[in-house]
């Protein structure tokens, strides 16, 4: 009888440890400042680029507020990878500066005003 109790106790302990070791996955939402987003082309470029990133569930860029809202799975990526992904698309993301090579490939309308970019008030993109 003692052996059966011991075996049951060991099985319960093993299951408990296995459950504790499994990382619980969560869908997190992050709001990231993207101050260099200027037009619809910027919005589309970030949304298209980030939707292909590992662990990213959804992306929504608010052009007027310069905020990008991203939902991502924390067991597949993290906030720093998300910011780096936006930077690799050519845009600043919070404290991460845009990748210079990617930024140089952006259309003129998507570049910073000090670099000759920005939207003309009369033009739609």
| Position 99 in a domain | yes
| Position 110 in a domain | no
| Position 7 in a domain | no
Could you give the number of structural domains in the chain?
A: 1
| Position 52 in a domain | yes
Q: How confident is the model at residue 117 (pLDDT cuts 50, 70, 90)?
A: confident
Provide the CATH number for the domain around residue 80.
Answer: 3.30.70.100
- Compute the distance between CA of residue 66 and CA of residue 58 in angstroms, rounded to an integer: 17
Domain, as residue range, for 74: 27-105
Residue range 52-94, pLDDT digits in tens: 999 999 999 999 999 999 999 999 999 999 999 999 999 999 9
Q: Locate 21 and state its tokens.
A: 């070791």
Mean predicted lDDT score pLDDT of the chain: 85
Give me the mean pLDDT over the 33-45 stretch. 95
| Position 98 in a domain | yes
- Compute the distance between CA of residue 15 and CA of residue 120 in angstroms, rounded to an integer: 63
What is the number of residues in the chain? Answer: 125
Angle between helix 40-51 and helix 79-88 axes, rounded to 10 deg? 130
Phi-psi region for residue 46, left (φ > 0), alpha (ψ -120 to 50) or beta?
A: alpha
| Position 33 in a domain | yes
| Position 72 in a domain | yes
What is the predicted pLDDT for the residue at 123?
47
């Amino acid at each position: 009888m003692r052996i059966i109790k011991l075996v049951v106790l060991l099985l319960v302990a093993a299951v408990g440890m296995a459950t504790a070791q499994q990382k619980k996955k969560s869908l997190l939402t992050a709001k990231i400042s993207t101050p260099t987003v200027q037009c619809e082309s910027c919005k589309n470029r970030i949304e298209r680029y980030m939707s292909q990133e590992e662990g990213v569930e959804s992306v929504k860029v608010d052009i007027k507020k310069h905020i990008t809202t991203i939902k991502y799975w924390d067991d597949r990526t993290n906030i720093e990878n998300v910011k780096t992904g936006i930077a690799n698309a050519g845009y600043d993301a919070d404290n991460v500066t845009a990748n210079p090579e990617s930024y140089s490939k952006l259309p003129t309308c998507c570049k910073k005003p000090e670099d000759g970019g920005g939207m003309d008030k009369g033009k739609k993109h």
